Structure 1
Amino acid sequence: MRFLLTNPKRLKRYGSWAMVTGATDGIERALAHELAKHDLNLILVSINPSKLASVSDDFRQEFP
């Protein structure tokens, strides 16, 4: 994944959407944040609905 994030133009070759599972904590949350910084639309998946709502709200505020 580092290869893709070092050249953001490559990300768009795979589409404008990314799904991140376990997106409320740790590396997966950091990955989702990086993808959002590069203007990808995200589908965030988590087993904890309250954490998911919090992360989603945070991302929506930072990346309108």
Structure 2
Amino acid sequence: MEEDERVVITNADIAAAKRDWQLARHRGDLPDRIDGAYDTYRRLISAQAQQIADEFRATGRLRADQG
């Protein structure tokens, strides 16, 4: 990946992952599926937090679709 190319995780991405995890729980999916959905949700939150911190340190501003 080029240095200036990166994936941007938005609030919509976080919301979609949360819905997926909650739906898996509601349907009574297998524990591994529920745990995997939760792990994806948790990782996206963590990655977005790091992204927000990096953006703020670099520019002193936040993107409108984050935080």
TM-score, structure 2 as length reference: 0.29
TM-score, structure 1 as length reference: 0.30
Of structures 1 and 2, the one with the larger relative CO (CA 8 A, separation 6+) is: 2
Which structure has the larger Rg over C-alpha atoms? 2
Higher strand content, 1 or 2: 1
